């Protein structure tokens, strides 16, 4: 049996702070009267909706599936007081802002992979928020501090190399379902068909 990293998703209890992984990508937090906040997360596939809802439920947060007028899927939580500290941390002058000192562990990375991780050839791409380019440098720095130096590629961070891919796979743990396997990080770019 392989030894788990102290920082891996499987070695730690899920907690609300893991939602930082959803904010590294396209997640948005909206405040209500400085008493509560709501998470909204557009997603590109139904398997991601199911997986993110289950991951949020593990953290005691109920999310409702959404569909936009354009047919895009996503999830949204109710306004919750326990999301307010995260909203305050990730918002500056009404804009999304990646906080200084951002630290990413396995739980946050797992949520990020669930929401916006994909293969790009033999490299792994973690999507960023295309509407918040000012967050990219801070998020990239936090990813590097987690032992995953990455290259900015469009609205995403590209992770390359067997060692880095192995580290990412170790930190995020096993895929949550068969639907996720072909999108899940592994040591090599050779993916199993689902």
Residue 183 has pLDDT above 90, yes or no: yes
Q: What is the mean pLDDT of residues 148-175?
A: 96
Q: For residue 3, tell me if it sits in a domain.
A: no
Q: For residue 64, tell me if it sits in a domain.
A: yes
Contacts of 94 (CB under 8 A, 6+ apart): none
What is the token pair recorded at 112?
A: 């990020």
Q: What CATH number should be reported for the domain holding residue 124?
A: 3.10.28.10
Q: For residue 1, tell me if it sits in a domain.
A: no
Residue 145 has pLDDT above 50, yes or no: yes
pLDDT of residue 6: 44
The better pLDDT of the pair 2, 151 is held by 151
Q: For residue 16, tell me if it sits in a domain.
A: yes
pLDDT of residue 7: 46
pLDDT of residue 157: 98
The better pLDDT of the pair 165, 16 is held by 165
pLDDT of residue 1: 37
Q: What is the largest CA-CA distance in the chain?
A: 50
Q: How far apart are CA 83 and CA 88, in angstroms?
A: 9
Contact by Cβ (8 Å): 168, 159: yes
- Ranges of beta strands (E only) in the chain are 28-32, 36-43, 63-67, 73-77, 91-92, 95-96, 117-120, 123-127, 151-152, 156-159
pLDDT of residue 22: 98
Q: What is the mean pLDDT of residues 7-26?
A: 77
Q: How far apart are the first and last CA of the chain?
A: 25
Residue 108 has pLDDT above 50, yes or no: yes
- CA 164, 170, 175, 176 dihedral sign is negative
Q: For residue 46, tell me if it sits in a domain.
A: yes
Q: For residue 69, tell me if it sits in a domain.
A: yes
Residue 172 has pLDDT above 60, yes or no: yes
Report pTM: 0.89
- Which 3 state secondary structure label does DSSP give 86? helix
> Residue 14: pLDDT band by 50, 70, 90 thresholds?
low
DSSP secondary structure string for all residues of 176-191 = SSHHHHTTS--SSS-P
Q: For residue 4, tell me if it sits in a domain.
A: no
Contact by Cβ (8 Å): 119, 156: no
Report the DSSP pairing between strands 91-92 and 73-77: unpaired
**Number of separate domains in the chain:** 1
Q: Which domain holds residue 78?
A: 9-181
Q: For residue 191, tell me if it sits in a domain.
A: no
Residue 78 has pLDDT above 50, yes or no: yes
> Residue 12: pLDDT band by 50, 70, 90 thresholds?
low
């Amino acid at each position: 049996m392989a030894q788990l990293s102290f920082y891996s998703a499987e070695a730690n209890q899920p907690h609300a702070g893991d939602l930082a992984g959803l904010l590294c990508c396209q997640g948005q937090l909206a405040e209500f009267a400085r008493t509560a906040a709501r998470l909204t997360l557009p997603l590109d596939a139904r398997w991601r909706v199911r997986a993110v809802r289950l991951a949020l439920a593990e953290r005691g947060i109920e999310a409702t599936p959404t569909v936009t007028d354009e047919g895009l899927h996503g999830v949204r939580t109710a306004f919750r007081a326990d999301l307010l500290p995260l909203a305050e941390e990730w918002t500056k002058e009404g804009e999304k802002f990646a906080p200084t000192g951002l630290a990413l562990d396995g739980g946050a990375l797992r949520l990020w992979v669930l929401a916006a991780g994909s293969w790009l050839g033999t490299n792994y791409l973690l999507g960023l928020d295309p509407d918040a380019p000012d967050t990219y440098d801070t998020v990239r720095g936090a990813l590097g501090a987690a032992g995953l130096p990455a290259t900015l590629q469009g609205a995403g961070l590209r992770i390359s190399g067997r060692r880095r891919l192995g580290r990412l796979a170790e930190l995020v743990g096993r895929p949550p379902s068969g639907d996720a396997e072909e999108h899940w990080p592994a040591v090599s770019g050779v993916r199993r068909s689902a």
